[in-house]
Structure 1
Amino acid sequence: MKVLVSGASVAGPSVALWLGRAGHDVTVVEIAPALRKGGYAVDFRGEVFKTVLRRMGVLDDLRSLQTGGSAMRFVDESGRRLMRLPAEFAGGELEVLRADLSQVLYEHSREQATYCFGDSIASLREHAEGVDVRFESGVEETYDLVIGADGMHSVVRRLAWRADQVVERHLEYYVGGWEVPNTLGISGDALMYNVPGKLASVSADRRDPALAGTLFVFKSPKLEYNRRDLDQQKAILREQFSGLGWHVPELLAGLPAATELYFDSISRVHVKRWSTDRIVLLGDAGYGATFGALGTGTAVVGAYVLAGELAQGDLRTAFDRYEERMRKAVSKTQDGSRSGQFMAPATRFGIAARNKILDRPFFLKQMLKLAQNLSEQVALPDYSGQQGQLVQE
């Protein structure tokens, strides 16, 4: 088949790798001019995720790039320790920077797929013989299959699904982060500072101790802003955190010079059906929850399942079986995304209760066990009979 994949972050290169190995003609289009360099660390927990990474042939590469995770030390305005979470709480069994993960997936799939950066889909017209695609660049092509792997704000989903088929739920929090010079001499633990409804955090860069990364979370009703206007997003962050103590003024001082900024709402998307006749959604585009869920691992597994089902038969049957295998597991893993409430409780009582509960080994152990159980929700199919030649054990 002639396949178009929209998005070159994680889900897109993952499915491109599988479909390219199967002999399909795969093109990946990405609106960014190159692979994105920013983003936070992502983690993989449990045998399901690691098995898929192993079958893709990328597990050893990722292990060589793993960060090891960072402990999270919550402090008051004076820097006094209030509560500390060990590295495995956030880092899982395998933690890598999202940029490193994208690079590895790109390197392993680039021989099987054509990548087109700096372009995006402008229109889709689905018909019995394929999908006519017009790109922002003006190029027009027809594909047998289009895969929307372009994240929570998916262009494919917006163009191919009616508004009443999609529910985007704002979870009342926003998250932002940028890189700053490490003038504070941060090392070891990530430092986390709370006031009601807000979190400011800083941690040392894993590769360059002269740099540090910030993480700011705040509670807010849905905001209207331009997702491509960094200056507008920076102004929102300054307004939300101005007047706070601790190291917040120094961290905000580095915001104007930041060339890359991650800023987004913490949201969840629910699509009634993940596919049409020739268009299908993968990862956050179809079943995502920004920040703090198991979205990265689930997207990698979803790519494996989608490609495996496509290897067995016609599109309609493959789409049905892909959704049947993934829907229940996704609903459980993504329903657990309450990261905003955890990171920035809305009240002083909520902050104190979180710190007191998680500072006890028993409750911390239960939280880690819950995360592990969630990561095992996907029943991993065996496609060796159909695509055994694709699997690199």
Structure 2
Amino acid sequence: MKVLISGASVAGPTLAYWLHRFGFEPTVVERTPQLRRGLGGHAVDLFGPAVDVVDRMGLLPTVTEARTRTEQISFVRPGRTPIDVDMRGLVGMIADRHVEIMRGELASILYEATRHDVEYVFGDSIKAMDSSGDGVRVSFERGPARRFDLVVGADGLHSNVRGLTFGDAGRFRRYIGGYLAVYTVPNHLRLDGRMLTYLAPGRLAGLYPVWQTGAARATFLFRRAEEFHYHHRDLDRQRTLLRESFAGDGWEVPRLLAELDAADDFYLDSISQVVMDTWSRGRVTLVGDAGYSPGPAVGGGTSTAVVGAYVLAGELRAADGDHDTAFPAYEREIGELVRRGHAMGPAMMKTLIPRTAQQAWLTPRGAWLLPRLPAPLQRGLLSLQGGPVRALSAVRLKRYG
């Protein structure tokens, strides 16, 4: 059975791995001319069962070796002593299994694990799909049309497959009030295992090292009541919006913004969720952010994508490729996890990006204090703020063979 997967970031190659292992013939098509190898993107988290999926793929030692190795967050306050927080202790309270890794590094590892067994087509994208009878005829922007038994959109928040299958892709996006930006800068502060975080009302700027290259990654999170209007590939406009949003801020912010034009990996996007009643229609389904993004930086989206890809492949195997059985089973299996992630997104936004000066004052002190509280009080507070991670950790993976 031939399965076309659109998207070669994290969900796509994970799905391709398991489909091949379960006896299917996956093909991955990716719009970019070549894989964005290396350490691009922002740091992402693998929690609980996502770590188990990677372990079952035999990749956990490689992924663990490539982890960010950021062990401490220092909340900086100009003219005052930083507040240092042990990241390992903080994360350990909500997840017993966790790996933080650069998104680009994870994508590269997944590609290397699949490229000899899976057909990859770079520099092309799906133009149209025609489902009829026992398959889907797929037309591409550049290559010749081909026929597949199933099509899976693993192409992210701005999913092309979602738009072609369900209509206007934007109508399923739910903006939750903020933006994320990230890009590479020189490690001029010589950080090693430590992230610096600057908080202001409605804004956060961070800087953390990428030990493999000696460079650093600048990260910006900021609130905005109304969405900006720009095309998601108009990088010049996005750079301007970022500069305007942090104009007048102190600390290292002016220096980081001065490096913006030199960065070839600049990324900015809204913190938006994808909310759908169903991710499947006919012989087409969605996986990861394309179908159920909880929002970048707020809901464990990478972990959910890895788990979703594994479950989708497993349910197809269990149903002997019968999509009418497998797709609903896939949605049932991870539906509660997706719903909890969506519900917790706005709450995590409040925690990550303080709205007022008082909240900006309280956030680092709360992070410092939390590991020092009695265990019952820790559990009570974490039930309010750690929902997505706890929901993910509660997932028990089936063994599909």
- Give me the TM-score of the superposition, normalised by structure 2: 0.89
Matches within 5 A, 1:1-393: 1-36=1-36, 37=38, 38-46=40-48, 48-78=49-79, 80-82=81-83, 84-89=85-90, 93-163=98-168, 167-209=172-214, 211-220=215-224, 221-289=226-294, 290-313=296-319, 314-338=322-346, 339-360=348-369, 361-362=372-373, 366-367=381-382, 373-383=390-400, 388=401
The alpha-carbon distance between structure 1 residues 79 and 106, as it changes in their structure 2 partners (threshold 3 A), is farther
**Cα distance in 1 for residues equivalent to 2:178 and 2:312:** 32
On the 8 A contact 2:158/2:170 being kept in 1, the answer is: no
**Identity percentage over the alignment?**
39
The alpha-carbon distance between structure 1 residues 181 and 104, as it changes in their structure 2 partners (threshold 3 A), is same
The alpha-carbon distance between structure 1 residues 126 and 89, as it changes in their structure 2 partners (threshold 3 A), is farther
Moved more, 24-33 or 339-348: 339-348
Shift in Å, 1:85: 4.7
SS of the residue corresponding to residue 239 of structure 2 reads helix
**Cα distance in 1 for residues equivalent to 2:89 and 2:100:** 9
SS of the residue corresponding to residue 155 of structure 2 reads coil
Shift in Å, 1:145: 0.2
The alpha-carbon distance between structure 1 residues 88 and 103, as it changes in their structure 2 partners (threshold 3 A), is farther
The alpha-carbon distance between structure 1 residues 61 and 182, as it changes in their structure 2 partners (threshold 3 A), is closer
Shift in Å, 1:316: 0.5
**Cα distance in 1 for residues equivalent to 2:194 and 2:80:** 12
On the 8 A contact 1:166/1:271 being kept in 2, the answer is: no
The alpha-carbon distance between structure 1 residues 355 and 151, as it changes in their structure 2 partners (threshold 3 A), is same
Amino acid at match of 2:309: A
Amino acid at match of 1:39: G
**Cα distance in 2 for residues equivalent to 1:355 and 1:183:** 24
On the 8 A contact 2:69/2:193 being kept in 1, the answer is: no
Shift in Å, 1:176: 0.4
On the 8 A contact 1:3/1:26 being kept in 2, the answer is: yes
On the 8 A contact 2:275/2:292 being kept in 1, the answer is: yes
SS of the residue corresponding to residue 124 of structure 1 reads strand
**Cα distance in 2 for residues equivalent to 1:272 and 1:297:** 21
Query: Where does structure 1 lack aligned partners over 5 or more consecutive residues?
Result: 389-393
**Cα distance in 1 for residues equivalent to 2:118 and 2:19:** 9
Match of 1:391 in 2: none
**Cα distance in 1 for residues equivalent to 2:102 and 2:90:** 16
Shift in Å, 1:370: 5.3
On the 8 A contact 1:201/1:215 being kept in 2, the answer is: yes
Amino acid at match of 2:355: A
Shift in Å, 1:377: 3.2
**Cα distance in 1 for residues equivalent to 2:256 and 2:169:** 41
Amino acid at match of 1:274: W
**Cα distance in 1 for residues equivalent to 2:61 and 2:193:** 25
What RMSD in Å do the two structures reach over aligned CA positions? 2.2
Amino acid at match of 1:293: G
On the 8 A contact 2:124/2:143 being kept in 1, the answer is: no
Shift in Å, 1:134: 1.2
**Cα distance in 1 for residues equivalent to 2:138 and 2:89:** 44
**Cα distance in 1 for residues equivalent to 2:386 and 2:236:** 41
Amino acid at match of 1:337: G
Shift in Å, 1:341: 2.5
**Cα distance in 2 for residues equivalent to 1:282 and 1:205:** 29
On the 8 A contact 1:325/1:379 being kept in 2, the answer is: no
**Cα distance in 2 for residues equivalent to 1:229 and 1:154:** 17
**Cα distance in 2 for residues equivalent to 1:200 and 1:219:** 12
The alpha-carbon distance between structure 1 residues 371 and 229, as it changes in their structure 2 partners (threshold 3 A), is closer
1:23-60 CA deviation, whole Å, 9 max, x = no partner?
Answer: 322110111122224112222222x2232222222112
The alpha-carbon distance between structure 1 residues 58 and 185, as it changes in their structure 2 partners (threshold 3 A), is closer
SS of the residue corresponding to residue 350 of structure 1 reads helix
Shift in Å, 1:3: 1.0
On the 8 A contact 1:275/1:319 being kept in 2, the answer is: yes
SS of the residue corresponding to residue 318 of structure 2 reads coil
The alpha-carbon distance between structure 1 residues 64 and 188, as it changes in their structure 2 partners (threshold 3 A), is closer
1:286-312 CA deviation, whole Å, 9 max, x = no partner?
Answer: 111222321111111111111111112
**Cα distance in 1 for residues equivalent to 2:170 and 2:122:** 29
Query: Where does structure 2 lack aligned partners over 5 or more consecutive residues?
Result: none
